[in-house]
Structure 1
Amino acid sequence: MLEIDRIDAGYGRAQVLRGLSLRISPGEILCLLGRNGAGKTTTMKAIMGLLPLTGGQVRLDGQVISELPAHRVAGAGIGYIPQGRRLFSELTVAQNLEIGLRVKNSGPEVLEGVLELFPRLRERMGQRAQTLSGGEQQMLATARALCVEPRYLLLDEPTEGLQPSMIEAIRQVVVVMRDRGVGVLLVEQRVDAVLSVADRVAFIENGRNLETVAADDLRRDHSVIERHLGV
């Protein structure tokens, strides 16, 4: 289990997260919803060790990982697809994927498994990342994270700016990973996208927990979404 236990974090003197707690189980998709500025991206960075905690802990199967540098958090089994993708734009598709493989010194069988999920990337292995379409770049960012062989996967706004066919392709991969026992923490603004994949939805505001609700309940009754998000 990935446990985020009462964490505090922020930027300089600006505190963003205030005692935030989340639990993600293997084979579960937990979606994080909140208004702009609620602390969703900050939560992702804090889990990955990209932002130091000022309180609380992040634990993976009972082991504290919040004191580890970011590369060791990835090596422990957490893949991260940040908002904006953060690809190495001058490198080829193959080189970007190789960077992911090096985290655990994974072999060609891991790469082959990832390319089975993203056949379009197989056709573009020699192409530089910056020349890909937006949807293909999102595929590459996701594929690179999967090369880490993650036990948990963090996705920050993966459908932003994508056309419907690309959104569906990313959604299918997320569901496949869930079915393979990977726990997923998804930050997503599109409520329809959240409800199409989520098992549970955690609402946050001003870096604090509001409530966590089963997605099935939200599909039947949107009043909780309207109350917290105003949509």
Structure 2
Amino acid sequence: MLTIEGLSGGYGSVQVLRGLTLTAAPGKVTCVMGRNGVGKTTLMRAIMGQLALTSGTIHLDGMALHGMPAHEVPRHGIGYVPQGRRLFGPLTVAENLDIGLMTRRKGAATRDHVLDLFPRLRERLSQPARTLSGGEQQMLALARALCLEPAVLLLDEPTEGLQPSMIQLIRETLIRLKATGVATILVEQRVEAVLSVADSVAFMAQGSVAETVAAQGLRPDAPQFQTYVGV
């Protein structure tokens, strides 16, 4: 269980997060939605130790992550696919995966399992990451994160700019991960994508979670989408 309580922080003198509280349970997808600028990406960066906090705590199964150096956070089982993917472009697909494997000292069995999820990557192991299509790069970013065998997976708008077949592949992958007990925090703006995979939706406003709703009880025309997202 990832537990975030009273989280506040930002960039220099600009405060973005304001007392944010959120939980992510094993085998569940928690979707975070909100208008641009409310702090969704900042929340992800805070969990990954990339943001100076002024208050609040982050715990994974009782272990304190707040204050931990950023390079240590993934070693405790937090996988992260940032917006823009952040691949190592000159390195091959295999080398990008190896970086994920080395983070938590995983081996060939983990690599094979990940490639079974994304068989297209198996065909491109020797290809530089920067030469992949946008959809293939997103596959690789997700595959690299899964090489950690994460307890928690953070995804920041993974379907942005992708064709429907790739969006469907990401959805199917998230459903498989739920079955293995991975807790997922998904930042997503597509209502249909959210309702197809999320267990709960946390709506952000002004740097905090204003309302959390069970996804099962939401419809595409639910007032929360207009209030918090503008769709």
Instruction: Normalising by structure 2, report the TM-score.
Output: 0.98
Q: Is residue 74 from structure 1 mapped to residue 65 from structure 2 by the alignment?
A: no
Contact 1:2-1:24 within 8 A present in 2 as well? yes
Count, aligned residues: 231
User: CA shift at 1:23, angstroms?
Assistant: 0.4
User: Runs (4+) of structure 1 moved beyond 3 Å?
Assistant: none
Correspondence list, 1:217-228, <5 A: 217-219=217-219, 222-228=222-228
Query: Tell me, which stretches of 5 or more residues in structure 2 are unaligned?
Result: none
User: CA shift at 1:66, angstroms?
Assistant: 1.0
Distance between the aligned counterparts of 1:110 and 1:38, measured in 2?
A: 36
Distance between the aligned counterparts of 1:213 and 1:139, measured in 2?
A: 29
Correspondence list, 1:87-166, <5 A: 87-166=87-166
Distance between the aligned counterparts of 1:138 and 1:220, measured in 2?
A: 26
Q: Which amino acid aligns with 2:162?
A: L
Contact 1:218-1:225 within 8 A present in 2 as well? no
Contact 1:79-1:145 within 8 A present in 2 as well? yes
Q: Deviation string for 1:45-72 (max 9, x for gaps)?
A: 0000011211101000111111211221
Distance between the aligned counterparts of 1:19 and 1:186, measured in 2?
A: 20
Equivalence for 1:183? 183
Distance between the aligned counterparts of 2:13 and 2:193, measured in 1?
A: 34
Q: Which amino acid aligns with 2:28?
A: E
Q: Deviation string for 1:129-156 (max 9, x for gaps)?
A: 0000000000000000000110010000
Contact 2:29-2:184 within 8 A present in 1 as well? yes
Equivalence for 2:230? 230
Contact 1:111-1:147 within 8 A present in 2 as well? yes
Contact 1:71-1:103 within 8 A present in 2 as well? no
Distance between the aligned counterparts of 1:117 and 1:69, measured in 2?
A: 31
Q: Deviation string for 1:1-35 (max 9, x for gaps)?
A: 10111101100100000000100110010000000
Q: Which amino acid aligns with 2:60?
A: L
RMSD across aligned positions (CA): 1.0
> Which stretch shows the higher mean deviation, 205-214 or 130-139?
205-214
Q: SS of the residue aligned with 2:194? A: helix
Q: SS of the residue aligned with 1:168? A: helix
Contact 1:5-1:56 within 8 A present in 2 as well? yes
Equivalence for 1:85? 85
Contact 1:86-1:141 within 8 A present in 2 as well? yes
Equivalence for 1:14? 14
> Which stretch shows the higher mean deviation, 145-154 or 216-225?
216-225
Equivalence for 1:200? 200
Equivalence for 2:27? 27
Distance between the aligned counterparts of 2:14 and 2:230, measured in 1?
A: 26
User: CA shift at 1:223, angstroms?
Assistant: 1.9
User: CA shift at 1:220, angstroms?
Assistant: 7.4
Q: Which amino acid aligns with 2:131?
A: T
User: CA shift at 1:221, angstroms?
Assistant: 5.7
> Which stretch shows the higher mean deviation, 92-101 or 61-70?
61-70
Contact 2:192-2:220 within 8 A present in 1 as well? no
Distance between the aligned counterparts of 1:52 and 1:175, measured in 2?
A: 33
Query: Tell me, which stretches of 5 or more residues in structure 1 are unaligned?
Result: none
Q: Which amino acid aligns with 1:141?
A: A
Distance between the aligned counterparts of 2:222 and 2:61, measured in 1?
A: 33
User: CA shift at 1:93, angstroms?
Assistant: 0.1
Distance between the aligned counterparts of 2:152 and 2:132, measured in 1?
A: 27
